[in-house]
Amino acid sequence: MEIRFLGAESLGVRSLSLFIDLGARKIVIDPGVALGFYRRGLHPHPLQAVFSEITKVRIVKALRSASDVVVTHLHGDHVPLYRANPFQLPLDVVRMVVQRKVFLWMKRFEDMSSLELARARHLIDCLGDRLVLRQGSHDDCVELLGPYSHGLEKSRVVGVVARLGSRTLVHLSDTQLLVDDVVKDVREHDPWILIVSGPPLYRYHGASRERLAEIARLNLAKLCSYADYVIVDHHLLRSVDGSMWLDEVRKEVGDRVMCVADFIGSPRLLLEAWREVLYETIPTNRRWFLEQSYTGCGEAIATYREIVEELVKNLPRETTVELDEVRRHLRELSTQFLDKDMDRRT
C-alpha cells in the first residue's frame, strides 16, 4: 500500500485529500481544496493561492489514474464544485481528466443536506456514464464507515477503510476527535495508519475550548492504542494554538502521533494561521484576485514561486514555528526574491 497526501492544512491549504495505491485499485479520497475565503478581515494572500494551485495539480494528477473516488462529505474543501471560487477545484477540470470508469463512493442521499444533494448531483452529472455509484456499501478493498457527526455539527460524514492484505488504512475526515462512536469502530479495524481531523480550536474560547481540547485529547489517546500511526490534521492546524496542542499531546502519547507535514518530512506550513503575517511581511492589494477577475492564480505562481520553494526548504521540521520566526523568514525571502523579480521586470 502506497499513500500520497495531496492537500492538508499543515501543507498550506484546507483539505484532507489522499491518494492510495493498492496496485490494481487506485483510490482518491476527498478530491477537494479550499482556502478560508474571508478570515480575520482578510481574503487569501497570493502566497496561499500558490499552494492552492499546487494542490489542484496534485489532485488532478491523482484523478487521472483513479479507479475509485471517495467523497466523505460535500463541503467545498472536500469535493470539486460546480461554482468553485478561485481557490477551489472546479468540476469542469474533473470532467476533462476522468476518462475511465470509476467507483464513486459517498454517503446515502438521505444523510445529505439540500446543499450537499445539489453538489452530489453536479458531481454525478459531471462523471455521467463513467461512474458506478456506491453508497453505504463495501468490497474487498474499500468500506464506508458511519455516517458520523461532523464534530459538533449536525451534518454527517462517512469514514473510509482501505485494505491491502494485512494492512489497513482508516480515513476519518472531520469527525474532529469529538465523536465517541469513531473510537469503537477504529478498534475493530486495527489500522496501520489512522488519519483524522483534529478539533477546530480556533473557533472556541475559554472554558468551551478547554473542554473540547480535553475530549479530543482523551479520544486521541485511545485511538493511539489501536493504530500504528495516527495522523491528525485539517481543522486543528488552522491555528498556531492547534499546532502547539498537537505537540503537547505528542509528549504524552509519543511520536506515533503527527500531522501530515510531519509524516512526509515537510515543514508545517500553517498559512491560514499566518495570513495576517503574510500581509504584514509581503504587502499586497487585499482585493488582488477580485479586481483582476481571477479564475486561476497563474500570476501569483509566477511571482511567488521562488519564495514558496525556499519556504518549504528552510523552515524547521516537526515543530511548531513561532510567529516571530515566520515573520523573519518571510521578510528575508520577500526582500530577496520580490526585489529580484522587480529588477527582472524593469
The answer on pLDDT for 290 being more than 80 is no
| CA angle 145–102–171, rounded 5-degree value | 30
Choose between 324 and 5: higher pLDDT.
Answer: 5
**What's 51's domain CATH number?**
3.60.15.10
Query: Is pLDDT at 295 greater than 80 in this prediction?
Result: no
Number of domains in the chain: 1
Whether 170 has a pLDDT exceeding 60, the answer reads yes
What are the contacts of 117-126 at 24+ separation with CB within 8 A? 119/74, 119/79, 119/81, 119/82, 120/71, 120/74, 122/81, 122/82, 122/91, 123/71, 123/74, 123/79, 123/80, 123/91, 123/94, 126/80, 126/82, 126/91, 126/94, 126/95
Specify the pLDDT at position 345.
42
pLDDT over 70 percentage in the chain: 94
What's the whole-model pTM score? 0.92
Long-range contacts of 265-268 (CB under 8 A, 24+ apart): 265/317, 266/10, 266/11, 266/312, 266/317, 267/311, 267/312, 267/315, 267/316, 267/317, 267/321, 268/10, 268/237, 268/243, 268/315, 268/318, 268/319, 268/320, 268/321
**Enclosing domain of residue 137:** 2-345
Q: Pick the residue with more confidence: 311 or 123?
A: 123
Each residue's pLDDT tens digit, 231-285: 999 999 999 999 999 999 999 888 899 999 999 999 999 999 999 999 999 888 8
In which band, very low, low, confident or very high, does the pLDDT at 342 lie, cut at 50, 70 and 90?
very low
- Above pLDDT 90, what percent of the chain? 66
